[in-house]
Amino acid sequence: MKRLGPWLTLAAAAILGLVLVGINMSKDTEPSTAKPNTVTTTAASTTQAPPIPTTPAAAPFPAKADYVGKIPLASGGTITLEITVAGDKAIAYACDGKTIESWLRGSATNGSVQLTGKDDAKLTGAFDGESVQGTLWIGGKQWNYTAAPVQPPAGLYIYNEAGTRQSWIVDANGGVTGVQRNPDGSTGPAVTLAPDATAVVNGKKITANKISGGDSVG
């Protein structure tokens, strides 16, 4: 019986060691619930689609207003555009100060202008509460434009005499662009228009007429 003592001690130690190893292994393999939930939430937030932007509706035009814009030409030079609005009607005039000119007229409703002129000229635009932006077509060509609001004496002016028409656009800085149309349909630069809207035509001083959207011209 004395010989069994050491063996019993060794067996007990071995059994205790196996129990401790089992406990440690169970701790190492215990699942964690916090990290998977965090990863899933992050993944969902990074794949969320951004909101689709909406286009704001056009703002209504003032009862009476004028807008002027400049359109650079690829061949050089500039077309000056004037849009004058009165009530639900509008007139636009575009010219390069040399030979190109076009008169357009039509409606100005719900913040939009839809104007047409001779030789399939067309202008569309929308008022955003500050400026008018759109597209102008003349002679089979088209340009995008932005026309900013201007205050008198800026605006659109004309003078007719003996079948010859002088047309001018005065911009916000007092710059003037104009074209003269002769009775035979030929065109050229208009005579000089002074800041007080006067000019000398055929040797006499005249006063140009300021045009509003409801007038009959073109």
Within 8 A by CB and 6+ apart from 137, the residues are: 120, 121, 122, 123
Structural domain that includes position 162: 64-210
Res 127: pLDDT: 97
Residue 185 lies in a domain: yes
Residue 122 falls inside a structural domain: yes
Q: Is residue 9 domain-resident?
A: no
Query: Over 80: is that where the pLDDT of 1 sits?
Result: no
Per the domain annotation, does 206 fall within a domain? yes
173-197 mean pLDDT = 96
Instruction: Provide the number of structural domains found in the chain.
Output: 1
169 occurs within a structural domain: yes
CB of 117 closer than 8 Å to CB of 105: yes
Instruction: Give domain status of residue 28, yes or no.
Output: no
pTM of model > 0.75: no
Does residue 50 sit within a domain? no
Q: What is the pLDDT of residues 108-139, one digit of tens each?
A: 999 999 999 999 999 999 999 999 999 999 99
CA separation for the pair 105, 99 (Å, rounded): 20
Least confident range from 108-112, 146-150, 175-179, 213-217: namely 213-217
**Residue 139 counted as domain residue:** yes
Cα 47 from Cα 174, distance rounded (Å): 54
